[in-house]
Amino acid sequence: MTDVYDQKNEDVNNAIRTNETMNINDATDVNSDIDTERRGKELVEVEWQRSEDGSYSPSSYINRDLSLLQFHLRVLAQAASPHHPLLERLFFLMIFSSNIDEFFEIRVAGIMQKFSMGDVSTSAHGMRPSELLNEISTITHDAIDEQYRILNEDILPALALEDIRYLKRDELNAEQSAWMKRYFIEQVSPVLTPISIDPAHPFPRLVNKSLNFIATLEGKDAFGRDINLAIVPAPRSLPRVIRLPDELTGGKEHHVMLSAIIHEHIGDLFPGMSVTGCHQFRLTRNADLDLADDVEDIAKALEGELENRRFGDKVRLEVTTDCPVHISDYLLNEFELHDNQLYRVNGPVNLTRLLFDFNIPALRYQPFTHVVPKEFRREMDKLDKATSMFAAMRKSDVLVHHPFHAFSPIINLLWQAASDPKVLAIKQTLYRSGTNSEIVKALAAAARNGKEVTAVIELRARFDEASNIAVANYLQEAGAIVVYGIVGYKTHAKLMLIVRREDDRIRRYVHLGTGNYHAANAKVYTDYGLFSADPDISEDIHKIFQELTGMGKPANLKKLLHAPFTLHEKLMSFIDDEIAHAQAGKRAHIIIKANALTERRLMGKLYDASQAGVKIELILRSMCCLRPQVKGLSENITVRSVIGRFLEHTRIYYFYNNGEERLYCGSADWMDRNLFHRVEVAFPIENKKLFKQVYEDGLLNYLQDNTQAWELNGNGVWRQIQPAAGETPHTAQAYLLKTINSVEEPTTYTQ
């Protein structure tokens, strides 16, 4: 990732794949729909209707896919800002590329499947698949043009001023050209497989998102055949960016692309023939997995599906701008794609592979220390360090706010449990963790030490399926009990339960979170985690683990809200309570912070609440299908999105409740999939000090942000908020970096 996070180069791909975003001030717009010149609420005229059963018309909602695409545009806007550290701007371009790749692999592929079954609207917004595909094509073509404009006109020239250059073939001097020739012969050519296109060699089946070259040829091959075309796949095992040796650059950061090396020497692959043209291209395929609910073994079924992901249906073709029309037409015909599925790019066809591990702190974010809460540090300073985590949790609940707080307390809790003779059992959910995770190593050590270890691993976490299968096998070999949750429901809850014998009684310790048990993500995702020994919460989690291992009916929980059973119902009832308070002339207020809002019944209930006079403030990172600030419909609802240095990932639900305030953190977004098709948990923040901390830092702080926040209007247009005249700029994430580091002693510790 970056020097700021002290990540190794291998973590970069994980950071890109999981769509992490960094920081920005004063983001620049990327299309005419994002207007940063205006700020503030505006009531929008939108035609909407409400039927007798209380439901709202399709025009009352914003299309989910277009809303997600607008989020990607807000990410792209970060790369355009000159106020952003230069290498972080380059990283934003890579994030945007990764986001768009997944958007096509999953969302566009799904719309194309619906279109193939009939061009009929079946969604809340009322658009037909063909209309949606056309709108997406228009927006993405413009956005990708803007992406490469930013690269070529802004970032690359600025990098060149810092002596960081991606050299083109015609920019190399004689010595550098000779070195590149040797590199091709020694490192590249041995792993290339040129494939001629002829009756004996049909067009090859190309892997999803792989870099390939199409070469036009003249002459005869070794068997005397006339060959006109050939395909050369670029080896995925080779780096896409190669640094030139210091002796050839004076120690400067000068690089060449693998594509340039292959292009320059592709003629060597066809001796006796002439290469008349060479053009890189990239094919995107449907990468969603189709796993039936009635499979006998999820792990075995997934292993088969993962291979299919590499060769799913075609959805997009990328070529460079200089690719001749007859070549792009040939490829479109071969892949059975249409003109609007062709994307011409002015540069490398895959920017996600552009970043090199530059060690230039001045062009990165200023580093910071991930601190440890003082409750844990106090116990660490005492004699019994081996059980310090348990001692701290017995005294009071402890809240961590990542990435400002370190992830190490979670790891230390597990390692202490693994070696503590008083610990009898450990149970944990794992959605994304990574094969080299300290979490996984600690669980394996606990199992080897004779603890009863149960791991509920969600094998279907998108793009982490193979990693999670490896984790499951590793833990099983260590002696842990591994289960895969419930067929048909992803286990997305973030839960840890430790059972300990103390003075002839059993005491349970728990951790609940809004984010995954993933140490690298915890350095760049904002998430809350609660450490507690509360008996009621511990009992609730015990019951949930019994559900997940296949025992009995849905649990009757005391404190936790639990999807797919009670969470949606409770949220609806909490909104109803606010409606009743407003109708009684009392103060009524709702604040929700989440990644997305797409569930139709909750949106309808929020519309009802707005019309009743409830003040509603929504802080949503990505998708929002609700239309705020529409006359008569949602005048009391505001929606904002904060795009910053860290990926906003906390989920917080606040209801004023006539002064008896309710505040929950949880793993669930307000989406159909989270509320009805996943196992999720929301947990109350009952400690007054921690309540104040979450309310002020996690909600009010973000509502005051006037530098990294964007506001949505009823037409689906996002505008960046700017400080008003005389107003002090406020950046929510920068505020947390400053305040938490000043309150907590900046000390970390690890096992």
Angle 142-147-151 from CA coordinates, rounded to 5°: 145
What is the rounded CA–CA span in Å between residue 500 and residue 307? 43
If residue 675 lies in a helix (H) or strand (E), which one and from where to where? helix 672-676
| CA distances in angstroms from 88 to 93, 240, 349, 362, 646, listed in the order given | 9, 19, 20, 11, 12
Give CA–CA dist 597/639, Å, rounded: 10
Q: What token pair was written down for 487? A: 């067929």
- Nearest Cα to Cα of residue 67 among 712, 553, 738, 707: 712
CA 649 to chain CA centroid, Å, is 9
45-64 core/surface letters (b: 16 or more CB in 10 A; e: else): ebebebeeeeebeeebbbbb
Handedness of CA 532, 533, 536, 542 (dihedral sign): positive
Contact 454, 549 (CB under 8 A): yes
Q: What are phi and psi of 402, to 5 degrees?
A: -80, 150
Task: List Cα–Cα distances, 167 to 239, 244, 279, 284, in angstroms.
Answer: 16, 10, 18, 27
Which residues touch 588 (CB under 8 Å, ≥6 apart)?
578, 579, 581, 582, 609, 612, 613, 614, 615, 656
HEC-encoded secondary structure of 527-594: EEEEEECCHHHHHHHHHHHHHHCCCCCCCCCCCCEEECCCHHHHHHHHHHHHHHHHHCCCCCEEEEEE
Q: Annotated catalytic, 254? A: no
Of 386, 412, 418, nearest in space to 398 by CA: 412
Q: How far apart are CA 751 and CA 37, in angstroms?
A: 50
User: How far is it, in rounded angstroms, from Cα 168 to Cα 346?
Assistant: 13
**How far apart are alpha carbons 240 and 229 in whole angstroms?**
24
> Which listed residue (492, 518, 562, 568) is catalytic?
492
Burial of 442 (0-12, 13-18, 19+ CB in 10 A): buried
Q: Kindly give the residue spans of alpha helices, DSSP state H, lying in 387-502.
A: 388-395, 408-419, 438-448, 465-478
Q: Active-site residues: which are they?
A: 492
